[in-house]
């Protein structure tokens, strides 16, 4: 089971209290046992006098019942000798108040000790000034008698008790300090190891990223507080790698765009310069040739003007600075009106336009038109979206121009269709041109990108048309993607948000 850092800290705090307390209690019990062993009279093999005094007092107390019930002169003499030998004073008090005293004269501290013992109920032992008074209750023939035995205080006089106590106390304190310090060190390692290793792993990962290894990822298997940090590190590394790749690609695109602009401006300028020099130097001698040269110069200047116009349009769309007037428009009616206005122009250039019926699912594979493509009004409910008609017509114009420029036969066709998808409509424009390789489908919307990297076919355009289309679609809140058509050709799918089907256009 994985132990989290929070749990490790909790366990550490508990053990920091429990271990010293338990070990301190064990040391205290051990010290108390040792002190008891050292101070108990039974454990003093060298103090025979003290041991004999204890035994004499016990033997004397054992003879008292016989003294009170069957006293004899011999017993009296024996007890009196024992009292004198050990400097003891004996008092017997019966329940009736009779008092019998034996031993030496009553000593001075007796009364003081007697009063103290009375507070204890005449049972126990009290001591003062090196003397002690022991009181106990003795039952003889069914009657209780109080026995008071006064004599010297029974303490080991030949043992250094104070020094032993001090030594034991110092030893106990030293052991407690060692235990606390050792426990602290062990618990610090227990917690620190769970923190130091992940931090070292993270530091190593940061160094890898710093040194440019953006593919480095942290493999962290523990289920603790560092796991989400390592996961976020991997997400950060992934995003950073993607950002660097995107920046690199943007830099490459910028270089290609500059190269494209330079090439697309230089080519017509070269032609203009050459034909202008021909006119200036008098190489052209006939009026027909002069008119032809002038027409070529005008055509190349128009190409430059068109390129600059598209560049300006692209820049304004890319910077989101082009004004847009949104209104509710009927998509089918708008496109049919636009196609009706331009179809003759495109038909004269060999490109037939057709509008397919609205589909609610994926449309069938288109085939080449077999009859006039003149649009007819659809009977389906209107598809209303909020858009700028100028933007919509600019999108269609650039797509149709792209299909016209890239058609590889004398005659070609373009089919425009719709596919409803909930609150969106997929506007699909498909042609039967040469198509685009799969590897280039994602790049055809890049500025100045051409499938002809050598740019040997300047007549096919500047490479800005589809880039303008993409920016315009994004301004309308939609998306665009390119697909490969079958058996050949290119299909562009524009996904735009719509209002409710059947809503009234402006």
The answer to whether 331 and 317 are in contact (CB under 8 A) is no
Among 329-333, 378-382, 436-440, top mean pLDDT goes to 329-333
Instruction: Tell me if the domain spanning 225-322 has CATH number 1.10.287.130.
Output: yes
Closest CA to 366 of 354, 378, 350: 354
Decide if pLDDT at 7 tops 60. yes
Is 50 exceeded by the pLDDT of residue 375? no
In this prediction, residue 48 has a pLDDT band, given cuts at 50, 70 and 90, of low
Q: In CATH terms, is domain 323-361+375-497 a member of 1.20.1280.50?
A: no
With a pLDDT cut of 70, the percent of the chain lying above it is 82
Residue with the bigger pLDDT between 236 and 22: it is 236
Residue spans of the domains in the chain: they are 48-152, 225-322, 323-361+375-497
pLDDT of 342 reads 92
Q: What is the pLDDT, as a whole number, of residue 55?
A: 79
Look at 369 and 491; give whichever has higher pLDDT: 491
What would the DSSP string read from start to end of 136-187? EEEEETTEEEEEEEEEE----TTS-HHHHHHHHHHHHHHHHHHHHHHHHHHH
Over residues 145-151, the mean pLDDT reads 81
**Which pLDDT value is given to residue 363?**
46
Mean pLDDT of 214-233: 86
Per the prediction, the chain carries an average pLDDT of 79
pTM over 0.75: no
pLDDT tens sequence across 188-211: 776 777 777 888 888 999 999 999
Does the pLDDT value for residue 454 go beyond 60?
no
CATH 3.30.70 fits 48-152, yes or no: no
Measure CA 492 to chain center: 41
Of 2-6, 255-259, 322-326, 453-457, give the lowest mean pLDDT range. 453-457
- What is the model's pLDDT at position 155? 60
Q: Which of 83-92, 188-197, 400-409 is modeled with the greatest confidence?
A: 400-409
Question: What is the rounded distance in angstroms from the CA atom of residue 496 to the CA atom of residue 427?
Answer: 8
Phi, psi dihedral angles at 108 (to 5 degrees)? -65, -45
Structure tokens at 181: 């310090």
Indicate if 323-361+375-497 has the same CATH topology as 48-152. no
pLDDT at site 500: 65
* C-alpha to C-alpha distances, 177 to 17, 32, 184, 297, 417, nearest whole angstrom: 13, 19, 10, 101, 88
pLDDT at residue 5 in the model: 63
């Amino acid at each position: 089971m994985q132990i989290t850092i929070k749990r490790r800290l909790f366990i550490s705090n508990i053990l920091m209290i429990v271990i010293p307390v338990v070990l301190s209690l064990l040391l205290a019990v051990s010290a108390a046992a040792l002190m008891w062993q050292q101070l108990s009279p039974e454990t003093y093999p060298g103090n025979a006098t003290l041991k004999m005094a204890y035994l004499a007092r016990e033997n004397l107390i054992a003879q008292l019942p016989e003294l009170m019930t069957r006293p004899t002169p011999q017993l009296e003499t024996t007890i009196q000798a024992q009292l004198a030998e050990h400097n003891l004073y004996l008092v017997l008090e019966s329940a009736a108040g009779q008092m019998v005293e034996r031993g030496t004269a009553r000593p001075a501290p007796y009364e003081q000790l007697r009063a103290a013992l009375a507070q204890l109920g005449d049972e126990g032992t009290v001591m003062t000034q090196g003397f002690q008074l022991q009181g106990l209750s003795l039952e003889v023939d069914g009657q209780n008698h109080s026995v008071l035995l006064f004599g010297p205080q029974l303490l080991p006089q030949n043992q250094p008790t104070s020094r032993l106590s001090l030594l034991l106390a110092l030893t106990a304190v030293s052991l407690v300090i060692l235990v606390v310090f050792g426990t602290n060190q062990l618990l610090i390692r227990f917690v620190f190891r769970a923190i130091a290793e992940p931090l070292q792993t993270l530091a190593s990962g940061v160094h890898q990223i710093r040194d440019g290894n953006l593919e480095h990822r942290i493999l962290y298997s523990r289920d603790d507080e560092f796991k989400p940090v390592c996961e976020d590190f991997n997400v950060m590394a992934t995003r950073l790698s993607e950002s660097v790749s995107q920046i690199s690609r943007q830099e490459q695109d910028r270089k290609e765009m500059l190269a494209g602009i330079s090439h697309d401006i230089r080519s017509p300028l070269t032609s203009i310069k050459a034909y202008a020099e021909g006119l200036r130097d008098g190489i052209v001698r006939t009026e027909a040739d002069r008119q032809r040269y002038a027409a070529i110069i005008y055509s190349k200047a128009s190409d430059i003007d068109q390129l600059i116009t598209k560049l300006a349009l692209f820049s304004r769309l890319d910077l989101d600075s082009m004004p847009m007037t949104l209104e509710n428009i009927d998509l089918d009616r708008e496109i049919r009106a636009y196609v009706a206005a331009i179809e003759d122009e495109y038909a004269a250039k060999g490109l037939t336009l057709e509008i397919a019926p609205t589909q609610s699912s994926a449309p069938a594979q288109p085939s080449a038109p077999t009859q006039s493509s003149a649009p007819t009004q659809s009977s389906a409910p209107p598809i209303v979206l909020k858009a700028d008609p100028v933007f919509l017509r600019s999108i269609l114009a650039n797509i149709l121009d792209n299909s016209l420029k890239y058609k590889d036969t004398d005659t070609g066709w373009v089919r425009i269709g719709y596919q409803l998808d909930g609150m969106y409509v997929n506007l699909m424009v498909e042609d039967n041109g040469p198509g685009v390789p799969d590897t280039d489908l994602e790049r055809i919307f890049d500025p100045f990108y051409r499938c002809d990297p050598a740019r040997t076919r300047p007549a096919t355009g500047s490479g800005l048309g589809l880039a303008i289309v993409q920016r315009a679609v994004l301004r309308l809140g939609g998306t665009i993607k390119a697909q490969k058509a079958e058996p050949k050709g290119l299909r562009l799918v524009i996904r735009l948000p719509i209002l409710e089907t059947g809503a009234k256009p402006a």
